[in-house]
């Protein structure tokens, strides 16, 4: 067979994201938020094995729902995923994918059925047939994974997790320790076939002590800028990942220094001109609309940018350009801890500047 090579181009990458967590870790809600961000204004599909629990979120998110009932064979999941993909949904959420492994009729049950079929209750024969009893369950699991990787839609798989221990021997002493997975996490172990989390584009562990905050099991370097590991997964993360998967650039503000009074004007110009506009074009447009000169410069990307405010109506404006009254309001009412600390520091700087100017005036007098 002839093999043809073509220049690799970025774009049209199908995301397959895994979220594993215990009850109360926020995996279903996080999956919904990511899906909403990826899907944009379109509804997404939810394949539900949890007795319709996904419908609890029907008032918050726009999605179409389907129940998947036992037996939870691998190809039953594959068929459900294909049906959603053929229907044209941009995103498919599966909650929970753990049933394919440990649910009623899943591959663990199936292996036991095969072992009983081969050896009955003859325990000596059962031991001899144990490896052979995995052939059909594992074979269909591989077929399911192969189909999963070929889907056009983006996919988010939810996995249950449970606390497990193992007995190990250390320095000749037998100990009971929390079980670890390959990525190094211990205590909470995803319930799934051991390799599937590493077949996905990315996968994360969520824990009850920090609901929604992702701990990476697998996270490629090129995706790290789009996932905040210190905050809950949300629609913004989904939007960024979707834009990256398309091969485009994220729509995060580019850090162009402008004054707060002209923010709305410049933002409109930026939207009209998009990224094709040069700094001079932005300056000309702003001057024409505002009737006054506005200094607009593009930062040198070879050095780290200065602190840029990214909250509320001041999104993309420098914190030094924001009215004191708004900063004082945000210190009392804002929710983002990092921005509140930056705000306090800026207010303190301004107060010190005022005090210094007052001292200088006294010395002159």
Mean local confidence (pLDDT), 23-47: 94
Q: pLDDT per residue over 45-88, tens digit each? A: 999 999 899 999 999 999 999 999 999 999 999 999 999 999 99
Integer CA distances (angstroms), 20 to 27, 58, 325, in order: 7, 22, 44
Phi, psi angles (nearest 5°) of residue 12: 55, 45
Mean local confidence (pLDDT), 16-29: 93
Residue 115 has pLDDT above 80, yes or no: yes
Residue 251 has pLDDT above 60, yes or no: no
Question: Does 281 or 158 have the greater pLDDT score?
Answer: 158
Instruction: Determine the pLDDT at residue 324.
Output: 82
Q: What angle do CA 139, 27, 179 make, to 5 degrees?
A: 65
- Cα diameter, the chain: 105
Mean local confidence (pLDDT), 209-217: 91
Rounded CA separation 318/334 (Å): 17
Q: What angle do CA 132, 141, 80 make, to 5 degrees?
A: 145
Least-confidence region, from 76-85, 233-242, 323-332: 323-332
* Helix, strand, or coil (residue 93): strand
Instruction: Decide: 310 and 253 in contact? Cβ < 8 Å.
Output: yes
Residue 339 has pLDDT above 80, yes or no: no
Residue 219 has pLDDT above 50, yes or no: yes
Portion of the chain with pLDDT greater than 70, in percent: 71
Residue 299 has pLDDT above 50, yes or no: no
Q: Structurally, what CATH architecture does the domain formed by 16-246 represent?
A: 3-Layer(aba) Sandwich (3.40)
pLDDT range class, residue 285, cuts 50, 70, 90: low
Instruction: Determine the pLDDT at residue 263.
Output: 38
From the list 13, 72, 21, the residue with the least C-alpha distance to 47 is 72
Rounded CA separation 115/133 (Å): 5
* Residue 156 parent element (H or E): strand 154-163
Burial of 1 (0-12, 13-18, 19+ CB in 10 A): exposed
Residue 262 has pLDDT above 60, yes or no: no
Domain layout of the chain by residue ranges: 16-246, 260-359
Q: What is the mean pLDDT of the chain?
A: 79
Least-confidence region, from 33-47, 157-171, 188-202, 256-270: 256-270
Rounded CA separation 79/23 (Å): 27
Question: Does 351 or 135 have the greater pLDDT score?
Answer: 135
């Amino acid at each position: 067979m002839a093999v043809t090579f073509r220049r690799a181009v970025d774009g049209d990458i199908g995301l397959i994201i895994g979220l594993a967590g215990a009850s109360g870790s926020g995996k279903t809600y996080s999956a919904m938020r990511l899906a909403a961000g990826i899907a944009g204004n379109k509804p997404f599909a939810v394949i539900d094995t949890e007795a319709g629990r996904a419908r609890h979120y029907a008032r918050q998110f726009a999605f179409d729902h389907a129940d998947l009932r036992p037996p939870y064979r691998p190809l039953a999941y594959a068929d459900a995923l294909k049906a959603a993909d053929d229907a044209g949904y941009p995103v498919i959420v599966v909650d929970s994918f753990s049933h394919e492994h440990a649910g009623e009729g899943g591959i663990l049950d199936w292996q036991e059925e095969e072992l009983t079929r081969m050896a009955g209750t003859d325990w000596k024969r059962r031991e001899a047939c144990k490896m052979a009893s995995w052939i059909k369950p594992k074979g269909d699991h591989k077929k399911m994974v192969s189909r999963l990787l070929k889907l056009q839609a983006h996919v988010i798989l939810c996995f249950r997790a449970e606390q497990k221990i193992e007995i190990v021997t250390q320095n000749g002493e037998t100990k009971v320790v929390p079980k670890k997975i390959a990525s190094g996490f211990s205590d909470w172990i995803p319930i799934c076939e051991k390799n599937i989390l590493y077949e996905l584009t990315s996968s994360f562990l969520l824990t009850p002590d920090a609901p929604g905050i992702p701990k990476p099991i697998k996270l490629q370097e090129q995706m790290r800028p789009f996932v905040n590991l210190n905050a809950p997964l949300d629609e913004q993360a989904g939007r960024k990942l979707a834009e990256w998967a398309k091969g485009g650039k994220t729509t995060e503000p580019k850090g162009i220094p402008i004054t707060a009074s002209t923010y709305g004007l410049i933002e409109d110009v930026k939207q009209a001109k998009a990224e094709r506009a040069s700094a001079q074009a932005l300056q000309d447009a702003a001057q024409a609309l505002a009737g006054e000169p506005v200094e607009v410069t593009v930062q040198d990307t070879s050095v780290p940018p200065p602190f840029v405010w990214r909250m509320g109506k001041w999104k993309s404006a420098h914190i030094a350009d924001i009215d004191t009254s708004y900063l004082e309001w945000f210190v009392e009412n804002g929710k983002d801890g990092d921005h509140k600390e930056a705000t306090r520091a800026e207010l303190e700087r301004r107060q010190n500047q005022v005090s210094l100017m007052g001292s200088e005036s006294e010395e002159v007098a």
